[in-house]
Every structure is written in C-alpha cells, then in structure tokens.
Structure 1
Amino acid sequence: MDIKYINPFIESFTTVMPQLGFNSIKKGNLSVKGKELISSGVIIVVGIVGAIKGNIVYVLDKEHAKKIASTMMMGMPVEELDEMAKSALSELTNMLTANAATCFSTSGIPIDISTPTLLHGSNVTVEMSSNKVLCVQLLANDIPVEINIAFEN
C-alpha cells in the first residue's frame, strides 16, 4: 500500500485530537494484518468510496474508549458505554475520517465516506475489503487507537 494513502489518516489524527483536548499525540506501532480482523472492545467501521475504495476500522479497548468519550464530553465521567458515549466515539471517527478525506481531496484524490458503524463486544470479526490491511497505532494522551486501513486493489 502506498504511503500516500496512510499519511492522511496520521495527519488527521494529529490535527483533530488536540482540538478535542488531547495534548499528547504519538505514533505507535505499524503492522500488516490479513483480511479478517478479530478484536475486542469498540470497533468502528467507516467505508470509503470514490477514487479509492475500501474500509477504515478504528479499534479501542473498552476502558480506553470510555476515557476518550469522557475527554470529548469535557471530562464528564463515563462509567458505561451508553448511547451518549457511543455517539461521541462515532462522531470522533466521523471527524477523523472526514478530515482524512479532505487531505485526500487536496492531493487530487476525491473520496466520500460512509456513516460510521459502531460494534462492541468480545472477539468481534470484521472482514476487510482487501487481503492486506495496514494497521497504524496512534496514541492520544497515551491512549492507543488502532486504525486499520484497507483499500481495494
């Protein structure tokens, strides 16, 4: 996968997260996964269509998801992943992916994104649109967020 398809997501994360109250942004691990992702916690799927097609899947463990939702809601305690917390997390992925779409557009690659679909539980399986999935781990205030990127060939 060409790096020009990855950088917009990293740039988006480093732009959006500080606006939401996360002052420490770091790059974590980079890995390659297969077509089938099996994760536990909160999984949010966003589809990509246009000049490139594919899926973006954001993965957080449940406790970190609650911390992110709390920060987004101005520090309001989040004890459970209720509807408000889930809505905040879905909106976060919408902002991150839309910002990445803007980055793609400015480099001449027009794309559109779908509405985020939030899943949660243990051992949730998501089948990606490509056999090769690039996983970028980014940290916001030391909270790991996994961004799985799959574009069709």
Structure 2
Amino acid sequence: MNNEIVTAFSDAVLSVMPMLGIPEVKFLSGKSYEKQLDSSGVIGIIGIIGELTGNVYFSMEESCAKKIASYMMGGMEVEEFDSIAQSAISELSNMLAANASILLSEKGKSIDISTPTLMSGDFTLSFSFSNVMCLEMLVEDMPFHVYLSIKE
C-alpha cells in the first residue's frame, strides 16, 4: 500500500488523540493483514470514495473505547459502553478519517468519507480487498488498530 496513505492515517491518530486530551499515543508498526478479522471489541468503520476506494476500520477493545470516550467527555468516567460512549467513538472515527483525508488532499489525493458505522461485541469482519494494512498503535498502553482496506 502507498506509504502516503499509511502515513496520513497514522499521523491522523497521532495528532487528533492528543487534541482530545489523550497524552499517550504511540505508533508501533504497520503490517500486511489477512482478509478476515475476528474481533471482540469495538470497531468504527468509515467508507472511502474518490481517488481511493474502500474502508478504514478503527479497532479497539471495549476498555480502550470507554477510556477514549471518557477523555472526549471531559474526563467523565464511562462505566458502560452505552449510547453516549458509542456516539463518542463514532465521532472519533469520523474525526480521524476526516483528518487523514485532509492530509491526503495536501498530497494531491482527493477522497470523501462516509458517515461512521459502529460495531461492538464478538464478530468476524471480512475486508473489502485482500491487501489490507494494519497500523498497530497504543492509546494509553491499550491496543488500537487501524485497518486500511483501500484500493488505489
């Protein structure tokens, strides 16, 4: 996958999270991933259209989602992954994808993003394309993955 795409999405996470008050965000690695993901957690999904097509998936454990939602709500403790916390994570997915789309437009790639879809629980997710890139990151020492299933 094009390095500009990978960089745009990793930079989006690394710049947006601190704006929300999250002090510890780290990029660990980028690696190719299989066409299917078995998940037990939370995934925000954003569709990509334009010069690039596909989907981006922001994946985390429920505990990470609750911690991020807490930061987004000014430090209010989030004990349940309820509709308010779900809305916060949907908005986070939107913010991250929008920021990446701005970074890509600065590199000459014009894309539009869809409204977010949120999934939680135990499920198997099949990606749109076989050349998926997984960006492994840590948010407050909790796993946060960005899966890029994008066709150039």
Whether these two folds match at TM > 0.5 is yes
Segments of structure 2 that go 5 or more residues without pairing to the other structure are: none
Post-superposition CA distance 1:32-75 (Å, at most 9, x none): 21222221100111110000101101111111111111111111
Q: What is the CA–CA distance in structure 2 between the aligned matches of 1:30 and 1:104, rounded to whole Å?
A: 18
What TM-score do the two structures reach when normalised by structure 2? Answer: 0.95
> For 1:60-115, what per-residue CA distance to the aligned partner results, in whole angstroms no more than 9, with x for missing partners?
11111111111111111111111100000010010000000001111110000011
Aligned pair count reads 152
Whether 1:95 and 2:95 are equivalent positions in the alignment is yes
Root mean square deviation, CA, Å = 1.2
TM-score scaled to structure 1, two decimals?
Answer: 0.94
Which residue identity does 1:12 align to in structure 2? Answer: A
Name the structure 2 match of 1:136: 135
Please give the alpha-carbon distance, in whole angstroms, between the structure 2 residues aligned to 1:5 and 1:128: 17
Report the equivalent of 1:125.
124
Map residues 1-153 of structure 1 onto 2, 5 A cutoff: 1-122=1-122, 124-152=123-151
Percent identical residues = 42
Contact 1:58 1:146 in 2 (8 A): yes
Partner SS for 1:4? helix
Q: Secondary structure at the match of 2:76?
A: coil
Q: Give the drift of 1:18.
A: 0.7
Paired residues of 2:45 and 2:58 also in contact (CA < 8 A):
yes
* Mapped contact 1:129–1:152 kept (Cα < 8 A): no
Deviation at 1:20, TM superposition (A): 0.2
Cα shift at 1:24: 2.1
